[in-house]
Amino acid sequence: MIDATLQAIRSFEYWPEIGEGTVDTLIMTALSLMFTVLIGLPIGVALFLTSWSQRSERPLVARIQGWTYNTLSLLVNVLRSLPFLILLILLIPATRWLVGTSLGVAGSIPPLVIAAAPFFARLVENLLREVDHGVFEACRALGATTRQTVLWALLPETLTGLLAAITVTAIALIGYSAMSGVIGGGGLGDLAVRYGYQRFNTPVMVTTVAILVVLVQTVQVLGDRLVARLSHRR
Amino acid sequence: MIEIRGVGKTYHTPTGPFQALRAVDLEVAKGEIFGIIGRSGAGKSTLLRMINLLERPTTGRVLVEGTDVTDLDGEPLRRLRQRVGIIFQHFNLLNSKTVQENVRLPLRVAGDLGRPDQDRRVAEMLDLVGIARHAQKYPPQLSGGERQRVGIARALANGPHILLCDEATSALDPETTQSILQLLLQINQRLALTIVLITHGMDVIRTVGDRVAILDHGSIVEAGNVVEVFLNPRTSVTRALLAESGIESDAAVTTDAGDGSQVLRLTYHGPLTEQPLLTIVSRESGLDFAILQASVGRLKNVPYGRLTIKTSPLDQDALQRLLQGLDSRGIRHEVLR
Protein backbone atom coordinates (compact mmCIF):
# COMPACT_ATOMS: atom_id res chain seq x y z
CA MET A 1 0.00 0.00 0.00
CA ILE A 2 2.70 2.41 1.12
CA ASP A 3 5.02 1.14 -1.56
CA ALA A 4 2.35 1.67 -4.16
CA THR A 5 1.77 5.25 -3.03
CA LEU A 6 5.49 6.02 -3.05
CA GLN A 7 5.77 4.47 -6.46
CA ALA A 8 2.92 6.63 -7.71
CA ILE A 9 4.55 9.77 -6.30
CA ARG A 10 7.91 8.86 -7.82
CA SER A 11 6.49 8.19 -11.23
CA PHE A 12 4.42 11.41 -11.21
CA GLU A 13 5.61 12.95 -14.48
CA TYR A 14 4.94 16.61 -13.60
CA TRP A 15 7.52 17.01 -10.80
CA PRO A 16 10.00 19.00 -12.90
CA GLU A 17 7.31 21.45 -13.94
CA ILE A 18 5.94 21.70 -10.41
CA GLY A 19 9.44 22.32 -9.08
CA GLU A 20 9.95 25.06 -11.61
CA GLY A 21 6.55 26.53 -10.80
CA THR A 22 7.36 26.59 -7.10
CA VAL A 23 10.64 28.38 -7.71
CA ASP A 24 8.86 30.89 -9.97
CA THR A 25 6.23 31.50 -7.32
CA LEU A 26 8.92 32.06 -4.71
CA ILE A 27 10.80 34.48 -6.95
CA MET A 28 7.64 36.39 -7.86
CA THR A 29 6.60 36.64 -4.23
CA ALA A 30 10.03 37.64 -2.98
CA LEU A 31 10.66 40.29 -5.64
CA SER A 32 7.18 41.74 -5.53
CA LEU A 33 7.30 41.77 -1.71
CA MET A 34 10.54 43.71 -1.84
CA PHE A 35 9.12 46.34 -4.21
CA THR A 36 5.85 46.41 -2.29
CA VAL A 37 7.67 47.31 0.91
CA LEU A 38 9.95 49.80 -0.86
CA ILE A 39 6.95 51.60 -2.36
CA GLY A 40 4.27 50.93 0.25
CA LEU A 41 6.29 51.94 3.30
CA PRO A 42 6.97 55.52 2.18
CA ILE A 43 3.35 55.87 1.03
CA GLY A 44 2.14 54.59 4.40
CA VAL A 45 4.42 57.02 6.21
CA ALA A 46 3.25 59.84 3.94
CA LEU A 47 -0.39 58.96 4.58
CA PHE A 48 0.26 59.02 8.30
CA LEU A 49 2.23 62.27 8.28
CA THR A 50 -0.54 64.04 6.40
CA SER A 51 -3.43 62.51 8.34
CA TRP A 52 -5.59 64.44 10.79
CA SER A 53 -3.55 63.78 13.90
CA GLN A 54 -0.42 65.25 12.31
CA ARG A 55 -1.84 68.42 10.78
CA SER A 56 0.29 71.49 11.21
CA GLU A 57 -0.87 74.48 13.24
CA ARG A 58 -0.09 76.65 10.22
CA PRO A 59 -3.13 76.80 7.93
CA LEU A 60 -1.23 76.73 4.65
CA VAL A 61 0.84 73.68 5.62
CA ALA A 62 -2.27 72.00 6.99
CA ARG A 63 -4.04 72.60 3.68
CA ILE A 64 -1.18 71.07 1.71
CA GLN A 65 -1.20 68.12 4.09
CA GLY A 66 -4.94 67.69 3.62
CA TRP A 67 -4.63 67.84 -0.13
CA THR A 68 -1.78 65.31 -0.15
CA TYR A 69 -3.65 62.97 2.15
CA ASN A 70 -6.82 63.06 0.08
CA THR A 71 -4.93 62.42 -3.15
CA LEU A 72 -2.88 59.54 -1.77
CA SER A 73 -5.85 58.08 0.00
CA LEU A 74 -7.98 58.19 -3.14
CA LEU A 75 -5.24 56.52 -5.15
CA VAL A 76 -4.83 53.80 -2.55
CA ASN A 77 -8.58 53.24 -2.37
CA VAL A 78 -9.01 53.04 -6.13
CA LEU A 79 -6.21 50.50 -6.48
CA ARG A 80 -7.55 48.48 -3.59
CA SER A 81 -11.08 48.45 -4.87
CA LEU A 82 -10.12 46.91 -8.23
CA PRO A 83 -10.30 43.11 -8.18
CA PHE A 84 -6.80 41.77 -8.81
CA LEU A 85 -7.77 39.99 -11.97
CA ILE A 86 -9.15 43.19 -13.48
CA LEU A 87 -6.04 45.09 -12.40
CA LEU A 88 -3.88 42.47 -14.10
CA ILE A 89 -5.68 42.94 -17.40
CA LEU A 90 -5.81 46.73 -17.12
CA LEU A 91 -2.09 46.89 -16.47
CA ILE A 92 -0.99 44.77 -19.43
CA PRO A 93 0.16 47.75 -21.56
CA ALA A 94 1.91 49.39 -18.64
CA THR A 95 3.60 46.13 -17.70
CA ARG A 96 4.82 45.62 -21.28
CA TRP A 97 6.24 49.10 -21.31
CA LEU A 98 7.90 48.63 -17.92
CA VAL A 99 9.45 45.13 -18.15
CA GLY A 100 9.03 44.33 -21.84
CA THR A 101 6.49 41.52 -21.39
CA SER A 102 3.23 40.88 -19.65
CA LEU A 103 3.93 37.18 -19.33
CA GLY A 104 5.94 34.99 -17.00
CA VAL A 105 7.62 35.92 -13.77
CA ALA A 106 8.75 39.37 -14.91
CA GLY A 107 5.34 40.25 -16.30
CA SER A 108 3.65 39.35 -13.02
CA ILE A 109 5.72 41.54 -10.76
CA PRO A 110 4.44 45.04 -11.69
CA PRO A 111 0.74 44.17 -11.24
CA LEU A 112 1.54 42.31 -8.01
CA VAL A 113 3.37 45.33 -6.62
CA ILE A 114 0.66 47.74 -7.72
CA ALA A 115 -1.97 45.60 -6.07
CA ALA A 116 -0.08 44.96 -2.85
CA ALA A 117 1.68 48.31 -2.23
CA PRO A 118 -1.56 50.25 -1.44
CA PHE A 119 -2.65 47.44 0.86
CA PHE A 120 0.68 47.50 2.65
CA ALA A 121 0.63 51.31 2.80
CA ARG A 122 -2.70 51.21 4.68
CA LEU A 123 -1.30 48.65 7.08
CA VAL A 124 1.67 50.94 7.74
CA GLU A 125 -0.57 53.97 8.22
CA ASN A 126 -2.67 52.10 10.76
CA LEU A 127 0.41 50.85 12.59
CA LEU A 128 1.80 54.36 12.90
CA ARG A 129 -1.52 55.60 14.22
CA GLU A 130 -1.20 53.12 17.04
CA VAL A 131 2.11 54.59 18.20
CA ASP A 132 1.71 56.31 21.55
CA HIS A 133 1.17 60.02 21.12
CA GLY A 134 3.77 60.56 23.84
CA VAL A 135 6.50 59.31 21.55
CA PHE A 136 5.80 62.12 19.07
CA GLU A 137 5.62 64.64 21.81
CA ALA A 138 8.97 63.48 23.18
CA CYS A 139 10.53 63.70 19.72
CA ARG A 140 9.13 67.17 19.11
CA ALA A 141 10.34 68.25 22.52
CA LEU A 142 13.83 66.98 21.72
CA GLY A 143 13.84 69.15 18.61
CA ALA A 144 13.84 66.21 16.21
CA THR A 145 13.03 66.77 12.55
CA THR A 146 10.23 64.81 10.96
CA ARG A 147 12.79 62.63 9.22
CA GLN A 148 14.56 61.86 12.48
CA THR A 149 11.26 61.18 14.20
CA VAL A 150 10.20 58.72 11.52
CA LEU A 151 13.52 56.93 11.15
CA TRP A 152 14.73 56.91 14.75
CA ALA A 153 11.51 56.64 16.70
CA LEU A 154 8.39 55.71 14.74
CA LEU A 155 9.69 52.89 12.60
CA PRO A 156 11.69 51.26 15.40
CA GLU A 157 8.64 51.50 17.66
CA THR A 158 6.47 49.73 15.07
CA LEU A 159 9.11 47.22 13.97
CA THR A 160 7.28 44.13 15.20
CA GLY A 161 4.01 45.41 13.75
CA LEU A 162 5.78 46.07 10.45
CA LEU A 163 7.13 42.53 10.35
CA ALA A 164 3.65 41.17 10.98
CA ALA A 165 2.30 43.42 8.21
CA ILE A 166 5.03 42.19 5.84
CA THR A 167 4.06 38.62 6.66
CA VAL A 168 0.41 39.30 5.90
CA THR A 169 1.38 41.03 2.66
CA ALA A 170 3.70 38.17 1.63
CA ILE A 171 0.84 35.73 2.04
CA ALA A 172 -1.51 37.95 0.06
CA LEU A 173 1.16 38.09 -2.66
CA ILE A 174 1.44 34.29 -2.80
CA GLY A 175 -2.31 34.21 -3.39
CA TYR A 176 -2.22 37.00 -5.99
CA SER A 177 0.74 35.44 -7.79
CA ALA A 178 -1.24 32.23 -8.23
CA MET A 179 -4.04 34.30 -9.73
CA SER A 180 -1.72 35.87 -12.27
CA GLY A 181 -1.46 32.38 -13.78
CA VAL A 182 -4.78 33.09 -15.43
CA ILE A 183 -3.16 35.51 -17.87
CA GLY A 184 0.03 33.50 -18.24
CA GLY A 185 1.89 34.81 -15.25
CA GLY A 186 3.98 31.72 -14.52
CA GLY A 187 4.46 29.91 -11.24
CA LEU A 188 2.18 27.46 -9.46
CA GLY A 189 -0.97 29.32 -10.42
CA ASP A 190 -0.04 28.98 -14.07
CA LEU A 191 0.37 25.21 -13.62
CA ALA A 192 -2.92 24.92 -11.83
CA VAL A 193 -4.71 26.80 -14.60
CA ARG A 194 -3.06 25.00 -17.49
CA TYR A 195 -3.19 21.45 -16.15
CA GLY A 196 -5.83 21.48 -13.46
CA TYR A 197 -8.40 23.75 -15.09
CA GLN A 198 -7.85 23.42 -18.82
CA ARG A 199 -6.87 19.71 -18.92
CA PHE A 200 -8.74 18.37 -15.90
CA ASN A 201 -5.51 17.02 -14.41
CA THR A 202 -6.53 16.65 -10.78
CA PRO A 203 -3.20 15.35 -9.38
CA VAL A 204 -1.36 18.47 -10.60
CA MET A 205 -4.11 20.69 -9.24
CA VAL A 206 -4.03 19.03 -5.81
CA THR A 207 -0.23 19.12 -5.67
CA THR A 208 -0.01 22.83 -6.48
CA VAL A 209 -2.66 23.60 -3.88
CA ALA A 210 -0.77 21.53 -1.30
CA ILE A 211 2.46 23.37 -2.07
CA LEU A 212 0.71 26.75 -1.79
CA VAL A 213 -0.67 25.75 1.61
CA VAL A 214 2.79 24.74 2.77
CA LEU A 215 4.29 28.01 1.46
CA VAL A 216 1.71 30.14 3.22
CA GLN A 217 2.08 28.18 6.43
CA THR A 218 5.88 28.47 6.31
CA VAL A 219 5.81 32.22 5.72
CA GLN A 220 3.36 32.72 8.59
CA VAL A 221 5.39 30.63 11.02
CA LEU A 222 8.65 32.36 10.06
CA GLY A 223 7.01 35.77 10.41
CA ASP A 224 5.55 34.91 13.79
CA ARG A 225 8.90 33.60 15.01
CA LEU A 226 10.69 36.75 13.97
CA VAL A 227 8.08 38.93 15.65
CA ALA A 228 8.29 36.84 18.81
CA ARG A 229 12.06 37.07 18.88
CA LEU A 230 12.08 40.83 18.47
CA SER A 231 9.36 41.42 21.03
CA HIS A 232 11.07 39.07 23.47
CA ARG A 233 13.05 41.92 24.93
CA ARG A 234 9.97 43.89 25.94
CA MET B 1 15.31 83.07 32.73
CA ILE B 2 11.75 82.53 31.53
CA GLU B 3 9.23 85.28 31.03
CA ILE B 4 5.65 84.74 30.09
CA ARG B 5 3.86 87.93 29.20
CA GLY B 6 0.12 88.16 28.81
CA VAL B 7 -0.10 84.72 27.32
CA GLY B 8 -3.48 83.38 26.27
CA LYS B 9 -4.52 80.26 24.44
CA THR B 10 -7.81 79.60 22.76
CA TYR B 11 -8.70 76.24 21.30
CA HIS B 12 -11.32 75.90 18.64
CA THR B 13 -13.50 72.97 19.54
CA PRO B 14 -16.65 71.67 17.89
CA THR B 15 -18.63 73.22 20.74
CA GLY B 16 -17.05 76.64 20.19
CA PRO B 17 -13.87 78.37 21.31
CA PHE B 18 -12.38 77.26 24.60
CA GLN B 19 -10.07 79.57 26.49
CA ALA B 20 -7.42 77.38 28.10
CA LEU B 21 -5.29 80.30 29.30
CA ARG B 22 -6.07 83.98 29.68
CA ALA B 23 -3.50 86.74 30.09
CA VAL B 24 -1.01 84.79 32.14
CA ASP B 25 2.07 86.62 33.41
CA LEU B 26 4.88 84.67 34.93
CA GLU B 27 8.57 85.08 35.57
CA VAL B 28 10.89 82.28 36.51
CA ALA B 29 14.30 83.19 37.89
CA LYS B 30 17.53 81.39 37.08
CA GLY B 31 18.22 78.37 39.26
CA GLU B 32 14.90 78.23 41.06
CA ILE B 33 12.31 75.50 41.19
CA PHE B 34 9.04 77.01 40.14
CA GLY B 35 5.85 75.09 40.70
CA ILE B 36 2.59 75.58 38.86
CA ILE B 37 -0.32 73.94 40.56
CA GLY B 38 -3.96 73.58 39.69
CA ARG B 39 -6.70 71.07 39.17
CA SER B 40 -6.93 69.11 35.95
CA GLY B 41 -8.21 71.34 33.19
CA ALA B 42 -6.80 74.47 34.81
CA GLY B 43 -4.40 74.92 31.89
CA LYS B 44 -1.14 73.98 33.62
CA SER B 45 -0.02 71.59 30.94
CA THR B 46 -0.73 74.12 28.19
CA LEU B 47 1.19 76.78 30.10
CA LEU B 48 4.22 74.54 30.62
CA ARG B 49 4.28 73.54 26.96
CA MET B 50 4.44 77.20 25.95
CA ILE B 51 7.98 77.35 27.28
CA ASN B 52 9.31 74.97 24.62
CA LEU B 53 6.52 75.90 22.21
CA LEU B 54 4.94 72.46 22.11
CA GLU B 55 1.94 74.74 22.39
CA ARG B 56 1.95 78.11 20.70
CA PRO B 57 0.23 81.00 22.50
CA THR B 58 -2.71 82.65 20.78
CA THR B 59 -1.77 85.97 22.39
CA GLY B 60 1.21 87.23 24.38
CA ARG B 61 4.93 86.55 24.29
CA VAL B 62 7.26 83.92 25.67
CA LEU B 63 10.87 84.78 26.44
CA VAL B 64 13.50 82.18 27.24
CA GLU B 65 16.90 83.35 28.47
CA GLY B 66 16.15 86.84 27.26
CA THR B 67 15.14 85.84 23.72
CA ASP B 68 11.62 86.15 22.41
CA VAL B 69 10.87 82.65 21.18
CA THR B 70 7.16 83.04 20.46
CA ASP B 71 7.49 83.06 16.69
CA LEU B 72 10.41 80.66 16.29
CA ASP B 73 10.03 78.00 13.66
CA GLY B 74 12.04 75.41 11.80
CA GLU B 75 15.67 75.05 12.76
CA PRO B 76 15.79 77.82 15.42
CA LEU B 77 12.75 76.24 17.11
CA ARG B 78 14.40 72.83 17.11
CA ARG B 79 17.54 74.39 18.59
CA LEU B 80 15.47 76.00 21.34
CA ARG B 81 13.86 72.66 22.17
CA GLN B 82 17.26 71.03 22.39
CA ARG B 83 18.13 73.61 25.06
CA VAL B 84 14.99 73.03 27.13
CA GLY B 85 14.61 69.56 28.65
CA ILE B 86 11.22 68.10 29.46
CA ILE B 87 10.03 65.03 31.34
CA PHE B 88 6.55 63.58 31.15
CA GLN B 89 4.01 61.92 33.40
CA HIS B 90 4.10 58.73 31.33
CA PHE B 91 7.82 59.03 30.57
CA ASN B 92 7.33 58.78 26.79
CA LEU B 93 10.35 56.58 26.25
CA LEU B 94 10.95 54.44 23.19
CA ASN B 95 10.14 50.91 24.26
CA SER B 96 11.99 49.46 21.30
CA LYS B 97 15.29 51.00 22.35
CA THR B 98 17.58 50.31 25.27
CA VAL B 99 17.94 52.80 28.09
CA GLN B 100 21.27 53.83 26.63
CA GLU B 101 19.80 54.43 23.17
CA ASN B 102 16.91 56.40 24.66
CA VAL B 103 19.36 58.73 26.34
CA ARG B 104 21.46 58.93 23.20
CA LEU B 105 18.48 60.04 21.09
CA PRO B 106 18.70 63.77 21.95
CA LEU B 107 22.45 63.69 21.24
CA ARG B 108 21.84 62.15 17.82
CA VAL B 109 19.14 64.73 17.16
CA ALA B 110 21.47 67.60 18.09
CA GLY B 111 24.25 66.02 16.07
CA ASP B 112 27.02 67.94 17.82
CA LEU B 113 28.90 64.96 19.22
CA GLY B 114 30.65 62.02 17.59
CA ARG B 115 29.86 58.50 18.69
CA PRO B 116 32.58 58.17 21.39
CA ASP B 117 31.61 61.52 22.92
CA GLN B 118 27.97 60.46 22.85
CA ASP B 119 28.85 57.27 24.70
CA ARG B 120 30.69 59.25 27.34
CA ARG B 121 27.85 61.71 27.74
CA VAL B 122 25.23 58.94 27.98
CA ALA B 123 27.27 57.15 30.65
CA GLU B 124 27.63 60.40 32.55
CA MET B 125 23.87 61.02 32.45
CA LEU B 126 22.98 57.48 33.51
CA ASP B 127 25.40 57.86 36.38
CA LEU B 128 23.86 61.16 37.40
CA VAL B 129 20.39 59.68 37.70
CA GLY B 130 21.64 56.44 39.23
CA ILE B 131 20.62 53.85 36.62
CA ALA B 132 23.96 53.05 35.01
CA ARG B 133 23.40 49.35 35.74
CA HIS B 134 20.25 49.32 33.58
CA ALA B 135 21.91 50.80 30.48
CA GLN B 136 21.28 47.74 28.32
CA LYS B 137 17.71 47.11 29.46
CA TYR B 138 14.52 48.13 27.70
CA PRO B 139 12.10 50.55 29.39
CA PRO B 140 9.34 47.93 29.86
CA GLN B 141 11.77 45.99 32.07
CA LEU B 142 12.11 48.91 34.46
CA SER B 143 9.93 50.22 37.29
CA GLY B 144 8.12 53.54 37.00
CA GLY B 145 10.71 55.36 39.05
CA GLU B 146 13.54 53.96 36.99
CA ARG B 147 11.79 54.92 33.78
CA GLN B 148 11.38 58.48 35.00
CA ARG B 149 15.12 58.51 35.76
CA VAL B 150 15.73 57.52 32.15
CA GLY B 151 13.40 60.37 31.18
CA ILE B 152 15.45 62.79 33.26
CA ALA B 153 18.72 61.52 31.80
CA ARG B 154 17.31 61.97 28.30
CA ALA B 155 16.05 65.47 29.10
CA LEU B 156 19.44 66.53 30.46
CA ALA B 157 21.64 64.89 27.85
CA ASN B 158 22.05 68.04 25.77
CA GLY B 159 22.93 70.08 28.84
CA PRO B 160 19.85 72.34 28.96
CA HIS B 161 19.58 75.22 31.40
CA ILE B 162 15.89 74.60 31.89
CA LEU B 163 14.02 71.44 32.83
CA LEU B 164 10.25 71.26 32.45
CA CYS B 165 8.41 68.62 34.46
CA ASP B 166 4.94 67.71 33.25
CA GLU B 167 3.28 65.90 36.17
CA ALA B 168 6.53 63.99 36.38
CA THR B 169 5.63 62.15 39.58
CA SER B 170 1.89 61.76 39.17
CA ALA B 171 2.12 58.20 37.89
CA LEU B 172 4.46 57.12 40.70
CA ASP B 173 3.82 55.76 44.18
CA PRO B 174 4.59 58.08 47.16
CA GLU B 175 7.95 56.56 47.95
CA THR B 176 9.18 56.70 44.36
CA THR B 177 7.80 60.23 44.09
CA GLN B 178 10.02 61.29 46.98
CA SER B 179 13.10 59.72 45.45
CA ILE B 180 12.45 61.43 42.10
CA LEU B 181 11.86 64.75 43.86
CA GLN B 182 15.12 64.35 45.76
CA LEU B 183 16.85 63.69 42.46
CA LEU B 184 15.33 66.85 40.99
CA LEU B 185 16.55 68.85 44.00
CA GLN B 186 19.98 67.37 43.61
CA ILE B 187 20.32 68.19 39.92
CA ASN B 188 18.81 71.62 40.53
CA GLN B 189 21.67 72.37 42.90
CA ARG B 190 24.42 70.50 41.13
CA LEU B 191 23.75 71.80 37.64
CA ALA B 192 22.24 75.17 38.63
CA LEU B 193 19.27 74.04 36.58
CA THR B 194 16.08 76.07 36.45
CA ILE B 195 13.13 73.74 36.94
CA VAL B 196 9.52 74.49 36.12
CA LEU B 197 7.12 71.82 37.25
CA ILE B 198 3.41 71.40 37.06
CA THR B 199 1.51 69.18 39.41
CA HIS B 200 -1.85 68.74 41.04
CA GLY B 201 -0.21 67.62 44.28
CA MET B 202 0.70 70.23 46.87
CA ASP B 203 3.17 67.80 48.41
CA VAL B 204 5.39 68.03 45.35
CA ILE B 205 5.59 71.82 45.60
CA ARG B 206 6.03 71.59 49.33
CA THR B 207 9.04 69.31 48.99
CA VAL B 208 10.94 71.04 46.19
CA GLY B 209 9.29 74.34 45.29
CA ASP B 210 10.90 77.75 45.80
CA ARG B 211 8.06 79.67 44.25
CA VAL B 212 4.60 78.67 43.22
CA ALA B 213 1.78 79.90 41.01
CA ILE B 214 -1.76 78.70 41.45
CA LEU B 215 -3.65 78.31 38.23
CA ASP B 216 -7.41 78.14 38.08
CA HIS B 217 -9.55 78.14 34.95
CA GLY B 218 -6.69 79.47 32.85
CA SER B 219 -5.67 82.33 35.14
CA ILE B 220 -3.07 82.68 37.84
CA VAL B 221 -4.97 83.42 41.03
CA GLU B 222 -2.00 83.59 43.35
CA ALA B 223 1.79 83.44 43.06
CA GLY B 224 4.79 83.95 45.28
CA ASN B 225 7.24 82.22 47.59
CA VAL B 226 6.02 78.82 48.63
CA VAL B 227 6.28 79.69 52.34
CA GLU B 228 4.34 82.89 51.81
CA VAL B 229 1.59 81.36 49.69
CA PHE B 230 1.18 78.19 51.71
CA LEU B 231 1.13 79.80 55.13
CA ASN B 232 -0.87 82.81 54.12
CA PRO B 233 -3.19 81.75 51.32
CA ARG B 234 -5.31 84.57 49.97
CA THR B 235 -7.73 82.80 47.69
CA SER B 236 -10.27 80.06 48.22
CA VAL B 237 -8.69 78.04 45.41
CA THR B 238 -5.37 77.94 47.24
CA ARG B 239 -7.06 77.14 50.53
CA ALA B 240 -8.97 74.27 48.97
CA LEU B 241 -5.77 72.84 47.46
CA LEU B 242 -3.97 73.20 50.78
CA ALA B 243 -6.81 71.55 52.67
CA GLU B 244 -6.46 68.50 50.46
CA SER B 245 -2.83 68.07 51.43
CA GLY B 246 -3.56 68.60 55.13
CA ILE B 247 -1.63 71.82 55.59
CA GLU B 248 -4.72 73.84 56.17
CA SER B 249 -8.04 72.74 57.53
CA ASP B 250 -10.83 74.39 59.44
CA ALA B 251 -12.42 71.10 60.33
CA ALA B 252 -11.35 71.47 63.97
CA VAL B 253 -13.23 74.71 64.46
CA THR B 254 -16.42 73.70 66.17
CA THR B 255 -19.31 75.96 66.95
CA ASP B 256 -19.05 78.58 69.67
CA ALA B 257 -18.70 76.95 73.04
CA GLY B 258 -20.41 79.99 74.60
CA ASP B 259 -17.94 80.15 77.47
CA GLY B 260 -16.02 83.22 76.29
CA SER B 261 -13.13 81.21 74.88
CA GLN B 262 -11.50 82.11 71.58
CA VAL B 263 -10.19 79.98 68.76
CA LEU B 264 -7.05 81.31 67.08
CA ARG B 265 -4.86 80.12 64.29
CA LEU B 266 -1.17 80.81 64.72
CA THR B 267 1.29 80.59 61.88
CA TYR B 268 5.06 80.95 62.07
CA HIS B 269 8.14 79.74 60.28
CA GLY B 270 11.91 79.78 60.37
CA PRO B 271 13.87 79.94 63.66
CA LEU B 272 10.66 80.55 65.61
CA THR B 273 9.78 76.90 65.20
CA GLU B 274 12.60 75.96 67.55
CA GLN B 275 11.21 77.99 70.43
CA PRO B 276 8.70 76.89 73.08
CA LEU B 277 6.25 79.49 71.83
CA LEU B 278 3.06 78.18 73.35
CA THR B 279 4.43 77.85 76.85
CA ILE B 280 6.01 81.31 76.71
CA VAL B 281 2.80 82.95 75.52
CA SER B 282 0.77 80.96 77.99
CA ARG B 283 2.99 82.03 80.90
CA GLU B 284 2.96 85.70 79.89
CA SER B 285 -0.76 85.91 79.32
CA GLY B 286 -1.81 83.66 82.14
CA LEU B 287 -4.06 81.80 79.70
CA ASP B 288 -4.30 78.10 78.97
CA PHE B 289 -4.51 76.70 75.48
CA ALA B 290 -5.95 73.57 74.01
CA ILE B 291 -4.47 72.57 70.68
CA LEU B 292 -7.33 71.73 68.32
CA GLN B 293 -5.20 71.12 65.33
CA ALA B 294 -1.54 71.40 64.48
CA SER B 295 0.61 71.07 61.45
CA VAL B 296 4.35 71.38 61.77
CA GLY B 297 6.85 70.47 59.14
CA ARG B 298 9.01 71.83 56.39
CA LEU B 299 8.38 73.66 53.17
CA LYS B 300 11.44 72.60 51.20
CA ASN B 301 14.02 73.68 53.81
CA VAL B 302 11.97 76.18 55.80
CA PRO B 303 10.44 74.78 58.99
CA TYR B 304 6.96 76.03 59.77
CA GLY B 305 4.21 75.61 62.32
CA ARG B 306 0.51 76.18 62.04
CA LEU B 307 -1.61 75.71 65.14
CA THR B 308 -5.31 76.06 65.81
CA ILE B 309 -5.71 76.69 69.53
CA LYS B 310 -8.59 77.31 71.87
CA THR B 311 -7.91 79.68 74.76
CA SER B 312 -9.34 79.47 78.23
CA PRO B 313 -12.23 81.97 78.71
CA LEU B 314 -11.01 85.56 78.42
CA ASP B 315 -12.25 89.13 78.05
CA GLN B 316 -11.45 91.65 75.31
CA ASP B 317 -8.49 93.17 77.21
CA ALA B 318 -6.89 89.81 77.74
CA LEU B 319 -7.42 88.98 74.07
CA GLN B 320 -5.77 92.23 72.97
CA ARG B 321 -2.80 91.56 75.23
CA LEU B 322 -2.50 88.06 73.88
CA LEU B 323 -2.55 89.29 70.29
CA GLN B 324 0.05 91.96 71.03
CA GLY B 325 2.25 89.32 72.61
CA LEU B 326 1.96 87.19 69.46
CA ASP B 327 2.67 90.19 67.26
CA SER B 328 5.79 91.11 69.18
CA ARG B 329 7.21 87.65 68.51
CA GLY B 330 6.33 87.70 64.83
CA ILE B 331 3.66 85.04 65.08
CA ARG B 332 0.90 85.54 62.57
CA HIS B 333 -2.57 85.05 63.96
CA GLU B 334 -6.15 84.91 62.88
CA VAL B 335 -9.12 84.89 65.22
CA LEU B 336 -11.35 82.15 63.94
CA ARG B 337 -14.04 82.51 66.61
What's the pLDDT score for residue A47? 95
Look at A142 and B81 and tell me if their CB atoms are within 8 Å.
yes
Domains within chain B, CATH numbers bracketed:
2-244 (3.40.50.300), 263-335 (3.30.70.260)
Q: Which secondary structure element, helix H or strand E, spans residue A108, and what is its range?
A: helix A104-130
- Residue with the bigger pLDDT between B147 and A191: it is B147
pLDDT of residue B256 exceeding 80: no
| Residue in B79, B105, B154 closest to A152 by CB | B105
Look at B105 and A142 and tell me if their CB atoms are within 8 Å.
yes
User: Which pLDDT tens digit goes with each residue over A102-144?
Assistant: 787 888 889 999 999 999 999 999 999 999 989 999 999 999 9
- Whether the model pTM is above 0.90: no
- In B172-273, where does DSSP find H-type helix? 174-190, 202-208, 226-231, 236-244
Chain B positions in Cβ-Cβ contact with residue A145 (cut-off 8 Å):
78, 109
Helix, strand, or coil (residue B198):
strand
Calculate mean pLDDT across residues B174-200: 92
pLDDT of residue B310 exceeding 90: no
pLDDT of residue B252 exceeding 60: no
> CB distance from B243 to chain A under 8 Å?
no
Q: Which secondary structure element, helix H or strand E, spans residue B118, and what is its range?
A: helix B115-128
Calculate mean pLDDT across residues B112-135: 92
> CB distance from B138 to chain A under 8 Å?
yes
Give the model's confidence band at B250: pLDDT under 50 very low, under 70 low, under 90 confident, else very high: low
Calculate mean pLDDT across residues B270-286: 86
Q: Which of B144, B196, B154 is nearest to B175 (CA)?
A: B144
pLDDT of residue B248 exceeding 70: no
ipTM over 0.85: no
Identify whether the C-beta of residue A173 lies closer than 8 Å to the C-beta of residue A29.
yes
* Test mutation, B92, B93, B141, chain A, max A CBs within 10 A: B92
Q: Which of residues 194-223 of B touch A (CB under 8 A)?
A: none
Distance separating alpha carbons of residues B259 and B242, to the nearest angstrom: 31
If one counts every other C-beta atom within 10 angstroms of the C-beta of residue B232, the result is: 14
Distance separating alpha carbons of residues B148 and B90, to the nearest angstrom: 8
What's the pLDDT score for residue A119? 94
Domains within chain A, CATH numbers bracketed:
15-231 (1.10.3720.10)
Distance separating alpha carbons of residues B82 and B140, to the nearest angstrom: 26
If one counts every other C-beta atom within 10 angstroms of the C-beta of residue A97, the result is: 11
What's the pLDDT score for residue A148? 93
| Residue in A135, A140, A145 closest to B94 by CB | A135
User: Which pLDDT tens digit goes with each residue over B203-241?
Assistant: 888 889 999 999 998 899 999 998 888 888 888 888 888
Point out the residues of chain A with pLDDT beneath 70: 232-234
Q: Which of B170, B171, B198, B162 is nearest to B43 (CA)?
A: B198
What's the pLDDT score for residue B242? 83
Calculate mean pLDDT across residues B326-330: 86
Calculate mean pLDDT across residues B6-20: 86
